[in-house]
Structure 1
Amino acid sequence: MISYSHKEKALCKQIYDELIKAGYRVWIDFDQMHGNVMDAMAQAIEQSNTVIICMSEQYRKSNYCRAEAQYAFQRERKIVPILLQKQYKPDGWLLFIIGQLLYVDFNKYEFPRAMQMLHKELKVESVVETHTAPVRPKENTVVAHSTAYISPPEILRSSIVSENILEWTQSRVQDWLLGHNLRQLSRLFTDCDGRSLMYLSKYINNCESQQVLKVLEADSLRRINESISLIELSCFHSLMHEHKKRLQSMYSSNT
């Protein structure tokens, strides 16, 4: 489901078109809602697993947008915030809803790059989501509202995935990072394959921790404009340690 203000209709139409091209099944109506508005909004959220919140000043001021976002929050739906307005910083109730969630800035990045980042955020959920059927409005209710119901595309995965990290492609690395909920690192390590991860892990182990943090922090601010997450970095370090032990076991069994 996409929740947005009609002031951002043009950009949201672009996002909608790209989701369709990527294989998502999307129901959307860009006109204003008529009939039993609250019932239709509640039904839409209840039948959705993910809510994309399109942040702007107009969105924050809209009572309908606020009702959508708050109901999605109460129903514990996955929330993916994106920023559509230049120089706008979430505040008030909107800041409370998104909390510390990472958001995709469609002003900072070129549109193709921003869509790539949005796909990554949706991809985490799409691994386990089932298809969401379009909402059927109640009789005599005309649904014409700024929402979209999104079902993820089929993810084609090989039934056999190499456990040897040295053989992983960039795509496999992204799947692995997102599968372990390391979303920030998936953005930071966009161009890394499995061998690159091993080199990075070796660098982290062999260098002084403060030096490593300083370098990674600078790289994170430069590439994605975010401070490095120590929690994600710690999880990454632990996971890589397990892969190293697995590699050593594989090589020892072959000798």
Structure 2
Amino acid sequence: MRRPLRRSRRGLPLRAVAPNAVTALALCFGLTGIRYAISSDWEAAVTMIMIASVLDGLDGTVARLVRGESRFGAELDSLSDAISFGVSPAVILYLWSLKDAPRVGWLCAMVFAVFCALRLARFNAAIDLRDQPHKSAGFLTGAPAPAGAALAMLPMYLWFWTGQPWFRSPAIVLPWVALMAILMVSSVATFSWGSLKLRDHIRFEAIAVVVLLGAALISAPWHTLSALCVCYLATLPFSINAYRRVRRLRETMPAGAAAPIAPEPARDDR
């Protein structure tokens, strides 16, 4: 007797949809930031970008938990990041300050958005390459797109809690945004927080720090974000020096010796 033919199940499994749904939600928040900027609701506009950055960090975690990594998800994540952390912050900063210097201000906003897209394109182009010195040593190349967006809006945080009008001046905002755009596409070695590992005896302290940081973000968000941006910039000399030591150590290793390989970069390391 012949066995009945079984119909092959076609379609996308639910576990592959979950991380992509989080990425799409991050894109929605990034675009909503432009809507609030058009209405001159600056705090809400910045909040939308911050929520998008949190979701951008979660989609990679969700993908790894449900084993839903896919090339489609990686491409969608890059497109979402280009809009949420490139186009949206550029438009928000232009409407907030850079429009007072129309020609140069719009040029600076475009440069920031384009440089963010270039960074993401560079990440995707090198995703299959074996020879990546920064990646193999546990570092990133330049500032990730979410960090670049958060750093570019530092004058807005300072303006929110100080009320000083000169933080909104194009003379301050324009060179700062241009500098952050250059940082994103630069070859500066920055710390990859995904490759950092905590020792067993400081886990409780780490949880306490996270709780305090969350409480600070709720009670004084703009003060906390300003401090976080300053702390991130303060780590740059240490990351550059640390990578220089790693590179010097590799140069002294025998030719046949295998260099230590860091973990693969997560989707949120863009």
TM-score, length-normalised on structure 1?
0.30
Structure with more of its chain in helix, by fraction: 2
TM-score (norm. length: structure 2): 0.29
Higher strand share: 1
